[in-house]
Amino acid sequence: MKKILVTGALGQIGSELVMKLREIYGDSNVVATDIRKLENNPVVDSGPFEILDVTDPLLMADIAKTYEVDTIIHLAALLSATAENKPLMAWDLNMGGLINALEVAREQKCQFFTPSSIGAFGPTTPKDNTPQDTIQRPTTMYGVNKVSGELLCDYYYHKFGVDTRGVRFPGLISYVTPPGGGTTDYAVEIYYEAIKKGSYTSYIAAGTYMDMMYMPDALNAIITLMEANASRLKHRNAFNITAMSFEPEEIAASIRKHIPDFKLDYQVDPARQAIADSWPNSIDPTAAKEEWGFHAEYDLDKMTEDMLKKLQEKLT
Ligand code: AKB
């Protein structure tokens, strides 16, 4: 049985991943940590929870030792738009947190997962069906952090034998915990506003394609990769994965199948648009499929149906 430490456990991925991991591995075997504690929160209430600022290496090591963890899932990070506004803070948190977590994994001999992103690609990367191994010269601080993180995880694998694994996540869509400070957040906000107001003003321009994935597929991907037989993995950090690629008009059309009067207009935010324009239109997940059996259940329409149903229940 695994004993797992999760950082950033109250964030968009963590708040659902912790609950799923506790279902699989047992409540007491998943230690959730975050920089803040929330009252009446299922992650805090259903198993061990510790306050942890990931830039504090001693406290992280202490928690890992106390609970005798054998797996670290390191999620705490600033997303792309926030990182662009606060580049030094992003470097300190995204890189400082990662190296601290890798050091704990090395010392405690833990298996290790941290997500990379489509943000690890840049304007000189092939834009369509972006290959697994290709040019990575991102022009955002977030992208610089993600490429450096991929390289650092590979370094810890080759140099110290730490079992590091990772995926390049596309934009993640969920009805549970909203993302904060990402470029792809519009694809979550649009569903909330469709239910609340029947309309949405997009900060991303029509015609801008980005990869996306529904949260249940993202959670399955993390668990499947962490359980995969190491001998099958030719890559480690990090695998391209995606479930769909769409632009704002296409998600609006999918919403109109359920809310026919839904209106979409635009007030483009130049900063986030520039980030989106530097990312691929669609990435190729073949290596993930071949090496550990990645697959996604949800396409755009299946996700839209579930998002609108779940948000309807949540918001009304
Ligand atoms: C963001 O938009 O910053 C994230 C990502 C794609 O990494 N959702």
Give yes or no for residue 208 CB within 6 A of ligand 1.
no
Confidence bin at 244 (pLDDT 50/70/90): very high
How large a percentage of the chain has pLDDT more than 70? Answer: 100
Residue 210 CA: which ligand 1 atom is closest?
Answer: 6
Catalytic residues: 142
Closest Cα to atom 4, ligand 1: which residue? 182
Cβ neighbours around 8 below 10 Å, total:
24
pLDDT tens per residue across span 250-308? 999 999 999 999 999 999 999 999 999 999 999 999 999 999 999 999 999 999 999 99
The one-character DSSP state at 66 is H
Close Cβ partners of 189 (under 8 Å, ≥ 6 residues apart): 178, 200
By CB atoms closer than 10 A (0-12, 13-18, 19+), residue 60 is buried
Residue 79 CA: which ligand 1 atom is closest?
Answer: 3
Give yes or no for residue 143 CB within 6 A of ligand 1.
no
Give yes or no for residue 118 CB within 6 A of ligand 1.
yes
Q: Which of 117, 144, 208 to mutate to test the pocket of ligand 1 (most atoms within 8 A of CB)?
A: 117
pLDDT of residue 139: 98
Closest CA to 256 of 196, 188, 199, 192: 199
State if pTM tops 0.90: yes
Judged against a pLDDT cut of 90, whether residue 3 lies above it is answered with yes
One-letter amino acid at 10 equals: L
**How far, in Å, CA of 104 to CA of 106, rounded?**
5
pLDDT tens per residue across span 65-79? 999 999 999 999 999
pLDDT of residue 316: 84
Give yes or no for residue 119 CB within 6 A of ligand 1.
yes
Q: Which tokens go with 262?
A: 């839904």
The one-character DSSP state at 216 is H
pLDDT tens per residue across span 23-36? 999 999 999 999 99
Convert 123-146 to b/e letters by CB count within 10 Å (16 or more is b). eebebeebebeeebebebbbbbbb
Cis peptide before 90 (omega within 30 of 0): no
pLDDT of residue 198: 98
pLDDT of residue 1: 81
The size of the chain, in residues, is 316
pLDDT tens per residue across span 161-212? 999 999 999 999 999 999 889 999 999 999 999 999 999 999 999 999 999 9
Across 104-130, average pLDDT: 98
Give yes or no for residue 115 CB within 6 A of ligand 1.
no
pLDDT of residue 179: 87
Across 39-56, average pLDDT: 97
Across 87-95, average pLDDT: 98
Residue appearing with tokens 């990869």:
211
Q: At what angle do helices 14-25 and 215-227 cross, to 10 degrees?
A: 50
Across 121-132, average pLDDT: 98
Interface pTM, i.e. ipTM: 0.99
Closest CA to 76 of 35, 28, 23: 35
